[in-house]
Amino acid sequence: MRERAGQMAQSTRMLRASDPLAGGRIWVGLNTIILRECAVIARFWTVTLAPPIMTTLLYFAVFGDVLGKRIGSFAGVDYIHYVAPGLIALWIIPYSFAHTAGGFLGSRVFKYLEEILVTPLPGWALMLGYAIGGVGRGLVVGAAAAVTALLFTRLHIESVLVTVVALTLAALVASLGGFIAALFAKTFEQVQTIQTSILTPLMFVGGVFNPVSALPAWAQKLALANPMLYMVDAIRYGLLGISDVPIGLSLTLMGALAIVLFLAAVKLLASGKGIRD
């Protein structure tokens, strides 16, 4: 498969170089991948929406109603309001990661990736199509979690622009991370292991349920090295207007991380990682 994929890539580059309509063809290919990923979301809508709705209900019932009365408030905000943005992020990030990782790994496992590789579609467009699909699923799940949160609390949006940018960047970073994970993974179990052993623990210590200031001094320093903190914090600032770190810093780090992951994914694809194995 390695030699075949190399021949496919070489012929694709030659086609793009000699085709004056390459830009239009790239758009058609990119749009096709995006529509396919959207169709997957729509077809399995129960799997997409049911888990976050039911689990968010449980989180609010336990953390918001039961523990929230004992905890009181953080930064002048009732705990049930404080935890709402974190619960939204708790669904957006893992679902964006899992959708992109599962989608691209599935194309490798079930061999239909070869049909995409013979088309005049550059690696960055292939990756972007899957990443946008992951962003879409993450935002749909986040919207479902937000609607569920309205049953328990009133979400006051401090800044619509910051909220939209923060949600999109968080989903994009997670989605790009999922794509890179799929390049290295051989099985779906490996992707699941990455999600449960790395992504989930980082989420739970990333400010979802408590501010960084509530942690011991040594833990606060470690928390600042956690990228999930800046994602959750930016979303919380957009909705509530409070944050542990400056919002400008959070958005800048998220944007920089997205660029780094994008370039890393493009370089890995160019080297044949995940498509010539």
199-206: long-range pairs with CB below 8 Å, 24+: 199/93, 199/94, 199/97, 199/174, 200/94, 202/226, 202/227, 202/228, 203/89, 203/90, 203/93, 203/94, 203/228, 203/232, 206/231, 206/232
Residue 9, C-beta contacts closer than 8 angstroms, at least 6 positions apart: 117, 272
Q: What per-residue confidence (pLDDT) applies to 4?
A: 46
Domain ranges of the chain: 23-271
Tokens of 36: 């396919």
Residue 267, C-beta contacts closer than 8 angstroms, at least 6 positions apart: none
Residue 260, C-beta contacts closer than 8 angstroms, at least 6 positions apart: none
Q: What per-residue confidence (pLDDT) applies to 15?
A: 44
- Entry field: residues in the chain: 277
Please give the Cα distance from 199 to 98 (Å, whole number). Answer: 10
Q: What per-residue confidence (pLDDT) applies to 132?
A: 94
β-bridge partners, 77:
74
Within 149-259, strands assigned E span none
Please give the Cα distance from 37 to 193 (Å, whole number). Answer: 23
Q: What per-residue confidence (pLDDT) applies to 170?
A: 95
pTM for this entry: 0.84
Tens place of pLDDT for every residue, the chain, 277 residues? Answer: 444 445 445 545 444 444 555 667 778 888 888 888 888 888 877 777 788 888 888 877 776 666 666 776 776 778 888 888 888 998 899 999 999 999 899 888 888 777 777 777 788 888 899 999 999 999 999 998 888 888 878 777 888 999 999 999 999 999 999 999 999 988 899 998 988 888 888 887 888 888 887 778 877 888 888 899 999 999 999 998 888 889 999 999 999 999 999 999 999 988 888 776 5
Q: What per-residue confidence (pLDDT) applies to 215?
A: 78
Q: What per-residue confidence (pLDDT) applies to 33?
A: 87
Q: What per-residue confidence (pLDDT) applies to 202?
A: 86
User: What are the backbone dihedrals phi and psi of residue 77, each rounded to the nearest 5 degrees, phi first?
Assistant: -120, 130
Helix (H), strand (E) counts: the chain? 13, 2
User: What are the backbone dihedrals phi and psi of residue 78, each rounded to the nearest 5 degrees, phi first?
Assistant: -55, 145
Amino acid at site 167: L
Q: What per-residue confidence (pLDDT) applies to 65?
A: 64
